[in-house]
Structures are given as C-alpha cells and as structure tokens.
Amino acid sequence: MKSLKDVDKKVAELIKKEEKRQRQDINLIPSENYTSRAVREALGSVFTNKYSEGYPFKRYYAGNKFVDEVESLAIERAKKLFGVGFANVQGLSGSPANMAAYLALAEVGDTIMGMSLVSGGHLTHGSPVSFSGKLFNAVSYTVDPKTELIDFNEVAKLAKKHRPKIIVCGFTAYPRIVPWKKFREVADSVGAYLLADIAHIAGLIVAGVHTSPVGVADVVTTTTHKTLRGPRGAIIMTNNEELAQKIDKTVFPGLQGGPHDNTTAAIAVALKEASTASFKKYGVQIVKNAKVLASFLSKNNLRLVSGGTDTHLMLVDFGEKGPTGKEVQEALNRCGIVVNKNTVPRETRKPFVTSGIRLGTPAVTTRGMKEKEMEKIGNLIADIIGNRAQEKKLKEIAGQIKLLTTRFPVP
C-alpha cells in the first residue's frame, strides 16, 4: 500500500501545513482540543472499514465480533465514568445526538425550551436556523441583563406559560456553573423532561470541578471532544430504562445507519484516558488557567460577561462602541492567537460580526501551559487589541507567541 504522500501529495502537504499551524498557534477556542496519539491511532484504524448497523450482539451484518467488543467497551466505560445506567455511543456528533434525544422525548411540533443563542445557548437548543427551531416550537430564555447569569424568574414564567415538553440546560458560551437542581425544579413544576447538554463541560465534570447533572436530568448528552479530549463523536445517557430504549431506537434506525466504528474505538480510548488521575489534574488545571486568564484580561480593562468565569471559557464584550468581535478575532489570528468571535448578551451586531470574542483554556492546558503562561497570554491579547492597527507591533508580538509555543509541544 502506498503512503499518503505518494497517493496525494496535495492533501499530504495540507496536513503538514495544518500540523505546523497547530504547533505555532495558541489555540483558545474553548470547543477545540488536542487528542492523544492513542486516540488518533484508534481513529485511523481498520475499524473504519466495517459496517455495523444495529447494536452490540444484534447486528444486521456479519463480521462484527470485534466491533461488538469495542462498542461494548466504550459503553461500559461511559457508564462508569459518568455514573449512569445507560449510554449510547453511536451519535455522530453533538447536534445529531441532541436531535436523537429530542425525538426520543417529544414529537415533532412539541414545545422545547432552551437558552437563546446570543445569551450562550447552542444552535440545537432552539435556534430558528437549526432543526431544533424548525421541527419544534422553540421558546428561548435568556440571562439577567444586570448579572448576566441565568434568569430563573424568566425561566419559570416561560415554562409556566408555554408548558414545554423538554427544557434544555447546558450551554456553549456561558462561563458559570450550571445550577442543575434549579432547572429540575422548573421542569417538575410543568411536567417537562430535563435534558442536560454537557458537551462543553464533560471533562470538567469528570475531573470534579463542575457539578454533574446525572441523577438530576432525565437525559444527558455530550460530545466526546472539547474538554473530554476525544474524537468527534457523542454520547447520550440516562438512568431511565424506558427512555434508554427510545433513545436507541431513535439513533438507529431512526436517524442513522451504521455507526462509525473507528470513532467508537477512539471514544473507548478517550474514556479510558479520562478515568486516570492525570486527566483529573488536567481538568483542575483547565479551570485554574481560565480564572487566571480572565483575571489578566480584566486587569487590562477588558469587560468579561458576568465578570469572570467558573469554567473553561470566558466571553469578552467590547460593547456597541468598541471594536467588533470579527475585527479582534482577525487581529489575534494574525499574531498566532486563535479565538472565535461570539455574540454577547444584548447583542446588537450580526452573528458574523458580533460584539465579543469567546476564549477557553482546554487546548493550551493540554500543551502543559499553566498560570504563568496565562498571565503572559492575557497581557499579549490586550496588547494586540490595543495595537491592532499597528502592523509593526503585531509582528513583534507574533514573534513572542512563536517563542512561547515552541516550549509547549502539541501532543
């Protein structure tokens, strides 16, 4: 068999360029991370050659003896790691997993309630451009305009008025601990299912630095990348046997055919890694790093949504009169710091422009950076923003960033 560079030099070159970019850039996108070599080996394994419609020991194709074993392994590891009675590991990613969970709990046209996109929710929590807003009657709650924390008075009022079938909690751009029990109280008051989307914070939950919704929410969904540091896949979990059966049927044959068995194998590896003491230390360090980075951004007169962070991420709000998120994202990127422009509460600009940026520490923590590096990065970010029109200054800062990244190799 020929190697990639012999078969397709162009793709091989692009991979090399991407490897170089990842080494030289400081990645502060909170939904990104670096997988281990072991995870990537499983992801590129011969399991990618197999078709395995169905579930372990109940397949529609022959030749699935070892697929059954690896999927069973992933399931058992997920159950043990999160303390649940059931786990489906076949979801292709977070959005399909949320769709499967919704369709297992509700009918098309039913009402679901989730946080609005501008307040920190995800597209799949009811955005009108997503399936969640097209297939369901979506109602959105927001954050309190003063504290920028979840407004539970509004949540309770909206739930009482609209009687949703599902209330969704767990967010993509909310920097504070999620109070699962408060959501449970609201859900119980209107007879709604509670779905916790822990895609961003799964690794923090495993590390014990964020509370778990297991035992509180009816269903828990998560991606397997982000803070969990695995491949791009998903897990759907519950302790309810009836809901477990519905979830399995909704994933297959409801929404998918054969699962990606190579991804399943890589998930199994990532879950084993996440069960180690070193991973727990990693999760603790993520939050330490985030708090220090947030502190130094604040010291440089950058306004943080809600005043700081309890988790792995933070939002900087430049306001209506400040630079746009897009402008700052591009300036930082030119110097080698990668963030994403992001909407903020009370957003007045369009989603492709925005008034803020979102930053997180999972990836830099994987590289071994700690509090000292966060101080430096916080100061560099402020320096770039303040000198974003000065190309000479930006080149000087870019040189500092390259020197920093050479000390912390990518796995």
Q: Are strands 26-27 and 337-338 parallel, antiparallel or unpaired?
A: parallel
Please identify which of the residues 226, 246, 358, 367 carries the catalytic annotation: 226
**Cβ partners under 8 Å of residue 302, min gap 6:** 316, 381, 382, 385
User: 213 phi and psi, to 5 degrees?
Assistant: -85, -5
Establish whether 241 is an annotated binding residue: yes
Establish whether 391 is an annotated binding residue: no
Q: What CA–CA distance (Å, rounded) separates 186 from 150?
A: 13
Establish whether 394 is an annotated binding residue: no
Please identify which of the residues 23, 32, 40, 53 carries the catalytic annotation: 53
CA-based nearest residue to 200, from 179, 219, 175: 175
Please identify which of the residues 151, 197, 310, 347 carries the catalytic annotation: 197
Please identify which of the residues 35, 172, 223, 238 carries the catalytic annotation: 223
DSSP letters for 166-219 = EEEE--SS--S---HHHHHHHHHHHT-EEEEE-TTTHHHHHHTSS---BTTBSE
Q: Are strands 219-223 and 234-238 parallel, antiparallel or unpaired?
A: antiparallel
Q: Are strands 234-238 and 137-141 parallel, antiparallel or unpaired?
A: unpaired
Establish whether 121 is an annotated binding residue: yes
What is the amino acid identity at position 101? A
Establish whether 117 is an annotated binding residue: yes
Q: Is 232 an annotated catalytic residue? A: yes
Give the other-Cβ count within 10 Å of 330's Cβ.
12
Q: Is 223 an annotated catalytic residue? A: yes
Tell the residue number behind the tokens 């996108």, with chain if given: 29
Q: Is 226 an annotated catalytic residue? A: yes
- Tell me if 305 sits within 8 A of 344, measured CB to CB: yes
CA-based nearest residue to 331, from 381, 284, 296: 381
Cβ burial 223-240 (10 Å sphere, 16+ → b, else e): bbbbbbbbbbbbbbbbbe
Give the other-Cβ count within 10 Å of 410's Cβ.
14
Please identify which of the residues 32, 40, 51, 402 carries the catalytic annotation: 51
What is the amino acid identity at position 188? D
Q: Is 346 an annotated catalytic residue? A: no
CA distances from 41 to 44, 71, 130, 261, 322 (A): 5, 16, 33, 13, 45
- Tell me if 136 sits within 8 A of 111, measured CB to CB: yes
Residues with a known catalytic role:
51, 53, 197, 223, 226, 232
- Per the annotation, binding residues for (6S)-5,6,7,8-tetrahydrofolate are 117, 121-123, 241
- Per the annotation, binding residues are 117, 121-123, 241
